[in-house]
Amino acid sequence: MTRFVPSGILFLAGILVISACRYQPQADELPFNVNPPEPPNLAEVQMTSADLPLGMGELRLGLSPSSASRTADDFVPMTDYLATLLDVPIRTIDVASYSELIDLAVAGEVELALLPPLSYVLANERSPQVRVIAQQMSFGATTYSSYVLIKADDPSGELADLKGRRVAFVDQYSTSGFLFPYAAFLAHGIDPERDFDYTFAGGHAQVVRLLASNDADAAATASGSAREHAKGNGSADETQADVRILYKAGRIPYDALCSTGGLNERAIKKVQGAMLHINTRDRRGRLALRSTHSITGWIPADDQRYEPVRKVQAVVREHLEKAKHATEAD
């Protein structure tokens, strides 16, 4: 089937709101509380010129376009605090797409990168020098859910009911907005290449807007996106659109803070130690994280934490390659 590509993402007259009274947290999205280890002494995380790449007086941190409500500006308090802890300036680099951030990380054009799970797996595949230093915690949890959303009045009761209809994904490099829901469709005997008209909306907020404006019949997104809309951000007379969760596509580890090869082992250890200081257990941490909208702290992490994502990615990649070969054969 042909891809559905709207002439433009149609924004609602007001802010989209998922009715808070209808939204109830499901059991598998309730926070799994984790207590990060005690951070090292502040003196142990401060960098010297020997810790920085030759000729550089700052660190560059690449950020993904994972949320329309979370931009480089929202990370300024956190990066300022990190810079204070490390005693080195940090410059944030906001990119327009997941693929752009992957390219920057692989090329070593940033020393640090906050990579969504699938983006990390793909970047590490291209360059093993892209290594996990710490994992983000949000809402006190280490994982989040991937949802397939539909309108509240849609009669669909299962994924198979979406066959022949329009589905909005976030981006081909999005873990919760593409990879996990795509794999869920395959597991239910549904081939998105054959059974859907689908589009990539470019962001989590955008896929929900497509659903609300009737430019899509279903939207794949992260549980955090639904939570943000459930809070309600506008006045009572603004346009509202009720949606509901048709399917939960699985639990996903939160984003990975990665080094990209430009830092030595001593510097990596200092960055990791500094990140453990940035959490909501104290006032400075709360102020630093407040504008990120969800981050509550960081825990040490390594590649193994993202192995479940790598396994799902292998299944989806195999299917897409087979579909491509079949199309070329025709």
Sign of CA dihedral 160, 163, 169, 173: positive
pLDDT band at 229 (very low <50, low <70, confident <90, very high): low
pLDDT of residue 261: 94
pLDDT band at 116 (very low <50, low <70, confident <90, very high): very high
Mean pLDDT across the chain: 84
pLDDT of residue 71: 67
Q: Which residue has the higher pLDDT, 28 or 308?
A: 308
Average pLDDT over residues 137-156: 93
Tokens of 36: 């990060």
pLDDT tens for residues 29-61?
A: 434 556 777 889 999 999 999 999 888 999 999
Among 3-7, 71-75, 320-324, the minimum mean pLDDT is found in 3-7
Average pLDDT over residues 217-234: 70
Q: At what angle do helices 76-86 and 265-275 cross, to 10 degrees?
A: 130
Instruction: Answer whether residue 64 shows pLDDT above 50.
Output: yes
pLDDT of residue 226: 60
Average pLDDT over residues 196-217: 93
Instruction: Answer whether residue 230 shows pLDDT above 70.
Output: no
pLDDT band at 297 (very low <50, low <70, confident <90, very high): very high
Among 61, 55, 195, 169, which residue's Cα sits nearest to residue 115? Answer: 61
Average pLDDT over residues 280-301: 92
Q: What is the rounded CA–CA span in Å between residue 161 and residue 149?
A: 13
Among 90, 105, 89, 132, which residue's Cα sits nearest to residue 306? Answer: 132
Q: What domains can be seen in the chain, in order of their start residue? A: 42-141+254-312 (3.40.190.10)
pTM, entire model: 0.82
Q: What is the rounded CA–CA span in Å between residue 52 and residue 58?
A: 8
pLDDT of residue 70: 59
Backbone φ and ψ of 90, nearest 5°: -130, 130
